[in-house]
Amino acid sequence: MQDAFIQVWRQAGRFDPARGSAAAWLIALARYRALDLIRRHGREIPVAEPPDRADDAPDALDVLTRTAEGAALHRCLEGLEPERRRLVVMAFVRGLSHGELAAALRIPLGTVKSSIRRSLQSLRACLDR
């Protein structure tokens, strides 16, 4: 996180308010930095974990409804099949790659890739409506 925020200050001039929200930009930069570290040096937490984590709980997504943008995303996620929704949320929250998702959930890599693609297409169509 520290590196991510240092990167933010260095790149602050590149932020264009006309193109996106500042919060989303900050979140994205912090996540990208974390993903870089994970992909390069591996993660400290094992990928395969018992399925009782917050992102797997049925009502975990309810926190999204606190903001208007979150409520829209929540509604669109609810429109996905439960397994696909779980894949998308796990990927975002835990920073898992296609391969890691396949290993963690014991489903074929091709299935993970096509599920993510279809989920993203559905989300985009739903959110941009």
Partner 1 sequence: MTDDQDPPDLAGEYVLGTLDGAARAAAEARLAHDPAFAAAVTAWQDRLAPLAALAAPADPPAAVWEQIAAAAAPPPRRVGLGVRFWQASTAGALALAAALAGIMLLRPPAPAPGPAAMAVLAGRSGLPVFVAVARAGQLVLRPVGAVTAVPAGREMELWVLKAGATSPRPLGALPAIGRTGPAGAPVATGAELLVSVEPAGGAPGGVPTGPVIYRGKLAPL
Binding footprint of partner 1 on the chain (CB under 8 A): 1-2, 5-6, 9-10, 12-13, 19-28, 31-32, 35, 39-40, 54-55, 60-61, 63-64, 66-67, 69-70, 73-74, 88-89, 91-93, 95-99, 101, 112-113, 116-117, 120-121, 123-124, 127
Give 48 or 60: the residue with its C-beta nearer to partner 1.
60
- Least Å from the CB of residue 33 to partner 1: 11
- Could you tell me the smallest distance in angstroms from the CB atom of residue 45 to partner 1? 12
- CA dist., res. 116 & res. 129, Å (int): 20
- DSSP annotation string for 75-117: HHHHTS-HHHHHHHHHHHHHT--HHHHHHHHT--HHHHHHHHH
Least distance (Å) from partner 1 to the CB of residue 65?
A: 9
Distance CA 126, CA 74 (A): 11
Considering beta carbons, is residue 80 or 101 the nearer one to partner 1? Answer: 101
Q: How crowded is residue 36: how many other Cβ atoms within 10 Å of its Cβ?
A: 13
Q: Shortest distance, CB of residue 83 to partner 1, whole angstroms? A: 15
CA distances from 20 to 7, 62, 81 (A): 18, 24, 29
